[in-house]
Amino acid sequence: MRNNTVRGIFYLALGVFVFSLQDAIIKKVSGSYALTEVVFIRSVVAMPILLAMVQREVGWRAIFSPQLWPMAMRAAILYLSYIAYYMAFPALPLADAVALYFTVPLFVTALAGPFLHEPSDRRVWLAVLVGFAGVMVMLQPSRRIFEPAALLSLLAAATYGLSMLMARKLGTSESATVMVFYQNVMFFSGSMATALALWGLGIVHAAHPSLSFLVRPWVWPAAYDALLMCTCGIVSTAGMMLLTSAYHVAKASVVTPFEYTGIMWAPLWGFLFFDEIPRLTTLAGAALIVGAGLVALHTTRTKNMTVQSTTNR
C-alpha cells in the first residue's frame, strides 16, 4: 500500500506538471490565434488517442452509454470552464490565472452541500472564507490594477468544481476514459460551433485581449505554432492518463493535496517564457488559497475517516 501511495503521488505530481506545460503553450499562442482554433486542433489530435484508451480500458461499446445526456451536460460545463480559463491568459500573468483557478477545492466544498447533500462543518467553511480572502488579496478590487479577466479564472474554477461533483455521481457507472472522451467530443464540436456562430454574427474584433482571443478569426498557423497546438492534444491526454492512474493506485484523500504543486510551475513558466515576475500580493493570496484548500481537504478527509470508523463498528 505504501508503494502504491508513493506511486500515486508521483503520477499526480507529474500529471500536474504536464498540464502546466499546456497552460504555457496556450498563453504563448494566445496573441496570434483564436482560442477556438487552438481548442479544435488540440481536440483533433487527442481524439484517436482517447479512442484507443477507451478500447483498451472498457471497449468502444461503452461510448454508447445510457448516461449520454448527463455526460454531455458535464462536458458542456467543462467546455465553458476551460474556455473561461484560457480566456484569462492573454490579460493576466500566468501565475495569477493559475492561482485563482486553484480555488476549485473551495468551490467544491461550497457546492457539495446543495448539490450532493454533503454537509460541511465549521472548520471547512472557515477554510473556504480564508481561501476567498486570499482571492481578494490577489484581485485587489479597491485599486486600479484590478483586471476583470481575473473573474474568468474564478468562473472556470466554479464550473470545473461543479463538473467534479457531477463526475462523482457518474463515476459509479461510467469509466474516467469514457467521460474524458465525451469531454473531448464537446471541445471539438463546441469550439467549431462557437467559431461559426461568432463568424456568422460578424464578431471578429474586440478591444480586450481576453475577448480578442475568443473572437479572432481562424488563420492557417505557422509550422512551429501548429506543432505547439498539436502538442497540447498529446500533453492533455498524457496528463489525463497520469491523473487517472494516480487516483486509481492511491486514495484520493492522500493524493489530492498534491494538485497544488501546480502553483510552483505557473510562476516559473511565466518568468522563463513571458518575463513575468509575480507580485507580492499574488504570492500572499496564493499562499492563503493553498493553505485554505489543504485545511478543507484535511478536515473533510478526517471527517470521512471518522464516519467510516463509526460505520465499521
**What is the 3-class SS of the chain, one letter each residue?**
CHHHHHHHHHHHHHHHHHHHHHHHHHHHHCCCCCHHHHHHHHHHHHHHHHHHHHHHHCCHHHHCCCCHHHHHHHHHHHHHHHHHHHHCCCCCCHHHHHHHHCCHHHHHHHHHHHHHCCCCCHHHHHHHHHHHHHHHHHHCCCCCCCCCCHHHHHHHHHHHHHHHHHHHHHCCCCCHHHHHHHHHHHHHHHHHHHHHHHHHHCCCCCCCHHHHHHHCCCCCCCHHHHHHHHHHHHHHHHHHHHHHHHHHHCCHHHHHHHHHHHHHHHHHHHHHHHCCCCCHHHHHHHHHHHHHHHHHHHHHHHHHHHHHHHHHC
Report in angstroms the alpha-carbon separations of 229 from 60, 151, 211, 226, 302. Answer: 27, 25, 20, 5, 42
How far is it, in rounded angstroms, from Cα 175 to Cα 150? 33
What global pTM score does this model have? Answer: 0.81
In a shared domain, residues 57 and 168: yes
In a shared domain, residues 158 and 212: yes
Q: What pLDDT score does 193 carry?
A: 96
CA-based angle 1:52:72, to the nearest 5?
90
In a shared domain, residues 200 and 168: yes
In a shared domain, residues 199 and 82: yes
In a shared domain, residues 67 and 174: yes
The mean pLDDT of the chain is 80
In a shared domain, residues 87 and 203: yes
In a shared domain, residues 11 and 52: no
Residue 158 covered by a domain: yes
Q: Which residues, 6 or more positions from 308, have their beta carbon under 8 angstroms from its beta carbon? A: none
26-54, pLDDT tens digit by residue? 999 999 999 999 999 999 999 998 888 88
Q: What pLDDT score does 168 carry?
A: 66
In a shared domain, residues 188 and 301: no
In a shared domain, residues 159 and 69: yes
Residue 97 covered by a domain: no
Q: What pLDDT score does 238 carry?
A: 85
User: Residues in the chain with pLDDT < 50?
Assistant: 1-2, 142, 144, 305-313
Residue 112 covered by a domain: yes
Between the two ends of the chain, the Cα-to-Cα distance in Å is 23
In a shared domain, residues 71 and 162: yes
Residue 205 covered by a domain: yes
Residue 293 covered by a domain: yes
Residue 223 covered by a domain: no
Q: What pLDDT score does 312 carry?
A: 33
Q: What pLDDT score does 201 carry?
A: 93
Residue 227 covered by a domain: no
- The total domain count for the chain is 3
- With cell 500536474, the residue in question is 16
Residue 224 covered by a domain: no
Q: Which residues, 6 or more positions from 52, have their beta carbon under 8 angstroms from its beta carbon? A: none
Report in angstroms the alpha-carbon separations of 265 from 13, 23, 41. Answer: 11, 10, 24
207-264, pLDDT tens digit by residue? 999 999 999 999 999 999 999 999 999 998 888 778 767 766 766 556 666 777 777 7
In a shared domain, residues 288 and 187: no
Q: What pLDDT score does 301 carry?
A: 56
In a shared domain, residues 241 and 127: no
- Quote the domain boundaries for residue 7: 1-33+232-275
